[in-house]
């Protein structure tokens, strides 16, 4: 692309600043809001402020990234949610090290994809935007293209395995990130007000429409009634309405599939013995084809219930009670996913070690949404069905998991450079000066 590393880094910094320019902000709030029906305040944080700050992190200039050699061509299939974050993690990570980068935005982003595309073309020269094929066609074409060495996919683990034979036959690296089923643990000595704040802040990211939102709530029996009472009182008072109203706390869910799944999951839990504390119904907000779902608190939940075992992607709080670590651990371990996890109160060393080993990010008395944790959002990947890499290593096409920095993974020596992921993420956290997110 004709630019050296310092020139590319300067372009990335400029892209970060562009996210905060008033004209870009206004355009994306309107366009992305029309496409997703998300609240403007959520869009402002996740799609504008977070990527802007990630693009400014000093760690992007680290020697390991500066000296990395490109792998060649990288194709990136974007997801409808968290476009700004994905740009900062994946598109910037691939482009910064000198790769050819090909991007496809979801077809549902009719109004906002052109805005995002123009941002990328302006600030990351050479970026290729593909819009003349479906998502499955894009993936199949990329996996067959000899000029593409790595394919980054954000999607659903229900369909990704179908691409394994093609990827293996062409020896193309595939870096997949999919659903979450993130737990929040509330210990007996937790500050209950802080834990309730965390449940709402972390559980209602994008109104719950985020793979990184808390979806399972494990609460010690000594504080269970107190936590549930305060949580229910808070969410029951939230205002449900159309996204354009400034007073709206919970907006509509654009996907009918998600709305139907939420209703089915709640019904399944109630039939299996859960108790509905509040919520549980769809709400008409005056938008044709879109309905909100009431913030819903359920107690008496169990790991096998769909509302706990599956990603719900909505404003739902299934609460599971526990008394001992021996009771808690099997319930935590029942999930097939491992993105983020958090605990409030004192966490025993054995719990910390296990959660760090089974999740991408672990937070103690804080959440992924907290401003001081912003550098952790640069981390991609995860554990179990949440994320994996298919790749050839020493003649064998296999799979590996874990936290990853795409600026290290999308290089000519990913197996060697990935060993630098943890030191660089630790350095990013130390170098970051947090500011409150809007």
Predicted pLDDT of residue 2:
86
Predicted pLDDT of residue 275:
98
Q: pLDDT tens across 143-184, in order?
A: 999 999 999 999 989 999 999 999 999 999 999 999 999 999
Predicted pLDDT of residue 403:
94
Predicted pLDDT of residue 431:
83
Q: How far apart are CA 358 and CA 223, in angstroms?
A: 26
Predicted pLDDT of residue 211:
87
Question: DSSP H helical segments within 37-170, as ranges?
Answer: 40-43, 50-54, 63-66, 83-86, 92-96, 113-123, 135-144, 164-170
Considering the domain 5-178+386-431, what is its CATH architecture? 3-Layer(aba) Sandwich (3.40)
Predicted pLDDT of residue 272:
98
Q: How far apart are CA 135 and CA 159, in angstroms?
A: 12
Tokens matching residue 246: 């400034």
Predicted pLDDT of residue 246:
93
Which segments in the chain show pLDDT lower than 70?
A: 1, 435-438
Q: How far apart are CA 305 and CA 163, in angstroms?
A: 29
Site of tokens 């309730």: 196
For the chain, the domains span: 5-178+386-431, 182-370
Predicted pLDDT of residue 390:
97
Domains 5-178+386-431 and 182-370 share a fold: no
Q: pLDDT tens across 56-99, in order?
A: 999 999 999 999 999 999 999 999 989 999 999 999 999 999 99
Predicted pLDDT of residue 81:
87
Q: What is the pTM of this model?
A: 0.95
Beta strands in 268-408 (DSSP E): 275-278, 282-287, 290-293, 296-299, 316-322, 337-338, 340-344, 361-364, 380-384, 387-393, 396-400, 402-404
Predicted pLDDT of residue 430:
85
Q: Which fold has domain 182-370?
A: Aldehyde Dehydrogenase; Chain A, domain 2 (3.40.309)
Predicted pLDDT of residue 347:
96
């Amino acid at each position: 692309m004709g630019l050296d590393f310092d020139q590319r880094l300067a372009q990335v910094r400029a892209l970060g600043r562009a996210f905060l320019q008033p004209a870009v902000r206004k355009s994306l709030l309107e366009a992305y809001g029309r496409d997703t029906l998300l609240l403007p305040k959520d869009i402002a944080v996740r799609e504008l402020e977070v990527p802007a700050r990630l693009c400014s992190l000093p760690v992007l200039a680290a020697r390991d990234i500066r000296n990395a050699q490109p792998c060649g061509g990288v194709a990136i299939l974007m997801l409808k949610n968290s476009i700004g974050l994905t740009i900062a993690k994946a598109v910037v990570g691939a482009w910064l090290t000198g790769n050819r980068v090909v991007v496809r935005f979801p077809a549902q982003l009719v109004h906002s994809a052109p805005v995002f595309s123009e941002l990328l073309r302006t600030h990351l020269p050479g970026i290729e935007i593909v819009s003349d094929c479906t998502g499955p066609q894009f993936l199949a074409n990329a996996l067959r293209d000899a000029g593409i060495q790595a394919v980054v996919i954000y999607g659903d683990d229900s369909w990704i395995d179908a691409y394994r034979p093609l990827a293996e036959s062409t020896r193309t690296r595939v870096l997949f990130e999919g659903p979450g089923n993130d737990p929040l643990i509330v210990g007996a000595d937790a500050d209950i007000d802080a834990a309730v704040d965390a449940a709402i802040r972390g559980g209602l990211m994008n109104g719950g429409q985020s793979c990184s939102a808390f979806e399972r709530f494990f609460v010690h029996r000594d504080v269970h009634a107190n936590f549930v009472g305060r949580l229910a009182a808070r969410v029951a008072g939230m205002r449900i309405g159309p996204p354009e109203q400034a007073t709206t706390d919970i907006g509509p869910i654009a996907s009918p599939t998600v709305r139907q799944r939420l209703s089915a999951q709640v019904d399944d839990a109630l039939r299996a013995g859960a108790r509905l504390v509040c919520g549980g119904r769809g709400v008409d907000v005056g938008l044709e084809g879109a309905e909100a779902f009431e913030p819903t608190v359920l107690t008496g939940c169990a790991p096998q219930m769909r509302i706990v075992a599956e990603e719900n992607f909505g404003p739902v709080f299934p609460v599971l009670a526990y008394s001992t670590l021996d009771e808690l651990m099997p319930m935590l371990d029942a999930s097939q996913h491992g993105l983020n996890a958090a605990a409030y109160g004192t966490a025993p060393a054995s719990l910390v070690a296990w959660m760090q080993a089974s999740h991408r990010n672990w937070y103690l008395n804080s959440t992924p949404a907290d401003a001081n944790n912003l550098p952790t959002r640069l981390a991609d990947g995860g554990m179990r069905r949440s994320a994996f890499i298919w790749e050839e290593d020493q003649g064998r096409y296999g799979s590996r998991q874990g936290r990853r920095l795409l600026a290290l993974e999308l290089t000519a020596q990913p197996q060697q450079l990935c060993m630098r992921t943890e030191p660089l993420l630790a350095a990013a956290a130390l170098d970051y000066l947090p500011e409150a997110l809007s």
